[in-house]
Amino acid sequence: MGRLIDPGLEQLANMLFRMGELAHKTVSLSIDSYVEATNAHTQVQDLSDTLILMGEEAEEKTFELIARFQPVASDLRILKSHMKIAYDFARYGRYAFDISEIQDRLDGMRGCENWILETVKEMGNKVLSMVRTSLDLLKSHDTRLARTLSETEKQVDGIYLKYLDRLVENAPATNKCTISSLLVMRYLERIADHATYVGESVVYIATGERVTLR
């Protein structure tokens, strides 16, 4: 026989699944529009705003379950982690919006040198794969998969630092492409960090162990 809290926990999990799928779509759209120099700013903004609202709904649902059912420690662990994951998904959307804002103001990658374009593409692909992995983790609670985020996040950091070094060596003092690509790379690096936070939360849900994947 199921417990009274179980339907609420399932409903909260489903809210996060939907939120994660929307977050992946938002990040993907922002990266594509920046790289291809197309304008998706309004659409990304709408998606980002929706993610924020969904995060607030998940938070309200969490507090409702705590107030109604006085959950035991294992359930509290899940609820706390789910609320944190909802925040991380909302941050995906916020950084995606920041990327689209840069695209809208500085015209994306139009006119950029090829090495900058390829670097942004490489980093964007790795970050998007981390976003997808974080969503898959929420469904599978696969702690081994969660730990793979650590290596990918290190690769993202490596791309970012290598890009900074090359930028210092080769870029002119002032250039639209330099400014916009630097900001976008930073936002992508932050999305990658939040993907590892989701992985840490999933490990905590599954095992009760607090790990650092960064």
When mean pLDDT is compared across 64-68, 95-99, 112-116, the lowest value belongs to 112-116
Task: Taking residues 27-55, report their average pLDDT.
Answer: 96
Q: Where are the domains of the chain?
A: 6-207
pLDDT of 96 reads 97
- Please name the fold of domain 6-207: Methane Monooxygenase Hydroxylase; Chain G, domain 1 (1.20.58)
pLDDT of 147 reads 95
3-state secondary structure of 162: helix
pLDDT mean across residues, the chain: 93
Cα separation, 213 vs 199, whole angstroms: 7
pLDDT of 63 reads 95
Structure tokens at 123: 């980093």
Selection from 39, 164, 141, 9 nearest residue 99 by Cα? 39
Neighbours of 176 (CB within 10 A): 15
Is the pLDDT assigned to residue 92 strictly greater than 90? yes
pLDDT of 180 reads 87
Indicate the pLDDT class of residue 122, thresholds 50, 70 and 90: very high
pLDDT of 109 reads 84
Is the pLDDT assigned to residue 85 strictly greater than 80? yes
Neighbours of 58 (CB within 10 A): 23
When mean pLDDT is compared across 17-21, 97-101, 105-109, 125-129, the lowest value belongs to 105-109
